[in-house]
Structure 1
């Protein structure tokens, strides 16, 4: 009888302990659960407990999901927590998806996560990628903060043309991950300008029709395999530099003169 009584106490003790743990869990997550429920982003206690066990901050994840659901994005707790555990910024991803949705830009959750992880530590963000896709940005060519202030090209008559261009681009979200950056755009546009000016018979052709450079360079698909789509290339400034052809001819003449003098000295010495 005594053993039977002890077992009964143990049984009720276990039941009480389970009830206490259940009560603690219930009241611990009740506020979050209720907030999600009243916001139309229902989440189960099982999901909340799973988040806590995986070391994921429950409150922020639920709040981000509420924002997503309210904005018409059917994201699950599992999707958000997976990206968080991968080192991603779930708030930035959701904000980017909302911005893309409002701008009628197709952007999948997985693509947004990939962009978010790819831009981590680069000073950029998935939100910026979407923003420049909606609102194009201008790239100075060449970059005034690096190297020369102009692109120097030589026409067929030997005259140097010093040009500066402004390239209007928008982000191509499909090519953002793995696509070349602004530096590649600058390099390609610079190369295109040098090539186009070099095909002109005289420097006057460039000065009379600078749009020719823009149209020719724009038609070369310079944004291929880059993270951007080039919308326009505008020649901001064109100046005339030195006459390289005449300079080279003068230097060649001086060289020929020295050779002739040397040959004359040899003949006199003989």
Structure 2
């Protein structure tokens, strides 16, 4: 006891733990009790929990989270609360994981079990299946506790997560399609402008070509390839063509003779 006191141990709690263990029929040597105390664990509370199992709320309300949320395969969210009954494993108390590990593992098991259910109705009809499957995983391995039971205290139906995800996906697809349509419209407008520019360019080429006709006629006169009668015939043909064009324009719908 003197050595334990000098090393910073709590002699009173160790002594009370030894007395409580002896009365409860729990084998607890002084060396182990002293080691547990020096490791920073409450050895007296450990003995009491070995005699009277402790109930742990999952999730821990002190963290601000009141339920464990999980989604079944049909997209419906379920909110569950569990109560885990544990007993301290004194042999694994030194170096064993704490209550937080138990809570985290149980929460993970509940989420996995609900997530593997085909519909949320299957979970509501048989909530005890969650406890059975979670217990089968051996979640107390490597911890300072032995899980005696896992009870689902409450389970409620949350929102339709699947429908929300589908709605968000549909909205995202709509924005993507609108962007693609706008891109195609912009490309069409650019192509239209290119075609208009090409038409103007071709018209300019026609005007330039027509401007060279008088020069070609004059050159034909000089070379003797075109006579005066041929020139008159060409002029008559042009006049006849202009007259036909004028008559055709007057007979179009919306045109009136002046």
CA distance in 1, matches of 2:5, 2:141: 32
Secondary structure class of the residue paired with 1:138: strand
Match of residue 107, structure 1, among 28, 49, 62: 28
5 Å-filtered alignment, 1:173-188, equals: 173-188=90-105
Give the superposition deviation at 1:154.
0.8
- Greater RCO, 1 or 2 (C-alpha within 8 Å, sep 6+): 2
Distance 1:265 1:116 in 2: 72
2:116 matched to 1:199? yes
Q: 1:97 aligns with which of 11, 15, 18?
A: 18
Specify the alignment match of 1:134 in structure 2.
Answer: 51
Q: CA deviation at 1:266?
A: 2.4
TM-score between the two structures when normalised by the length of structure 1? 0.67
1:204-261 deviations in Å (ceiling 9; x for gaps):
1111110000110011111111111110000011011111111111111111112222
Which residue of structure 2 aligns with residue 239 of structure 1?
156
Aligned residue runs from structure 1 range 37-52, under 5 A: none
| 2:84 is equivalent to residue 163 of structure 1 | no
Quick check: 1:190 aligned with 2:111? no
Q: CA deviation at 1:264?
A: 2.1
What corresponds to 1:117 in structure 2? Answer: 38
Distance 2:183 2:11 in 1: 83
2:145 is aligned with 1:224: no
**Number of matched residues?**
187
Deviations 1:85-127 (A, max 9, x none): 22112222121111111111111111100111122xxxx6211
Please give the alpha-carbon distance, in whole angstroms, between the structure 2 residues aligned to 1:229 and 1:151: 22
User: Separation in 2 of the partners of 1:263 and 1:191?
Assistant: 42
**Which 4+ stretches in 1 moved above 6 angstroms?**
none
Secondary structure of the equivalent of 2:152? strand
Counterpart Cα distance in 2 of 1:185 and 1:169:
9
Deviations along 1:149-199, one digit per CA (max 9) or x if unpaired, are 111111111111110100000111001111110100111000010111111
Q: Distance in 1 between matches of 2:44 and 2:177?
A: 69
Structure 2 unaligned residues grouped into runs of 5+: 189-258
User: Normalising by structure 2, what TM-score?
Assistant: 0.70
Q: Which has the larger radius of gyration?
A: 2
